[in-house]
Amino acid sequence: MFFWRERIEPSGARYGVEWAFTDRRGGSSQAPFDQLNLARHVGDLDEAVTTNRHRLAHELGLRLADLRFMDQVHGCDVAVTPGTQDHDQEQADAAPSVDGLISGRTDEALVVMVADCVPVLLVDRTEGFVAAVHAGRLGMVTGVVPATVAGMRELGAEDIEALVGPSVCARCYEVPAEMRDAAAAVAPSAAAVTWTGTPAIDVAAGVVEQLVREGVPVRWLPGCTRENPDLYSHRRDGQTGRFVGVVRLLEREQVA
């Protein structure tokens, strides 16, 4: 089920965090979505996706209703989950049409779905905030990651850490030269070449550059979605499922 997983327990006045990236194993979906597809919008059977989401929630010690998904639109808008600020409680179960989601709650987990794009998870263990970000090429160029960092800071976050998950590598992401140039104008490290020397974009490198520019420490996990059959890749397979990055804030210890 998990490509990578880590749990950092609370310590004194510092919150804990549990964050992970899934793979495609251990689910109920059939080909071409086999096995642990967590997206409803790709053509998979709804009951299979629901079962898969239940399994993920169970592994995290949560209910299905505690998973917070986004209706990802390859933009740069950011939302805050209901209850973190004064938001309409009727929207608690709705998936906002954004690519960055922020929470200050310990009873929910934020989820970002990907199949080549860059999943980014953020946490501030001092003030108690987490965020999940979907950063594709357009999201990187339009600044969804800096926008999410700014949103966390507006809520009071000061000590943000970032975890960047697996995505399609530059060698596998061929694009027209003008598209590469547009990405490089935003983040020079995004300019790359493929295995065959043609123009390419390293979206993850661009995202990491943006985080460093914001003063956010980064851990960048290895792995190319197109090269790893345990991960979903739209570039490799066309119609396929989605794996996820998931992050949950853990309540800090009660200090007498």
Q: 199-247, pLDDT tens digit by residue?
A: 999 999 999 999 999 999 999 999 999 999 999 999 999 999 999 999 9
Residue 165 belongs to a domain: yes
DSSP reduced 3-state for 143: coil
Tell how far CA 131 is from the center of its chain.
Answer: 8
Residue 255 belongs to a domain: no
* pLDDT at residue number 167: 98
The answer to whether residues 36 and 23 touch, using CB atoms and an 8 Å cutoff, is yes
Q: What is the CA radius of gyration of the chain?
A: 18
CA angle 84, 133, 179 (to 5 degrees): 145
The answer to whether residues 70 and 99 touch, using CB atoms and an 8 Å cutoff, is yes
**Which residues, other chains included, contact 140 with Cβ-Cβ below 8 Å and sequence gap of 6+?**
118, 183, 186, 187, 190, 203, 206, 207, 210
* Domain count within the chain: 1
* pLDDT at residue number 147: 98
Per-residue pLDDT of 62-99, as tens digits, reads 999 999 999 999 999 999 998 765 444 344 457 999 99
Q: Six-digit token pair at 153?
A: 């800071």
Residue 175 belongs to a domain: yes
Domain, as residue range, for 44: 2-250
> Mean pLDDT across the chain, nearest whole number?
94
Residue 188 belongs to a domain: yes
Residue 232 belongs to a domain: yes
Residue 204 belongs to a domain: yes
User: What is the per-residue burial (b if ≥16 Cβ within 10 Å, else e) of 182-200?
Assistant: ebbeebebbbbebeeeebb
Residue 76 belongs to a domain: yes
* pLDDT at residue number 192: 97
pTM: 0.94
DSSP codes joined into one string, 221-234: ---BTTT-TTS--H
* Alpha carbons 150 and 58: distance in angstroms, whole number: 32
Residue 217 belongs to a domain: yes
Model confidence at 137: pLDDT above 60 = yes
Domain CATH for 85: 3.60.140.10
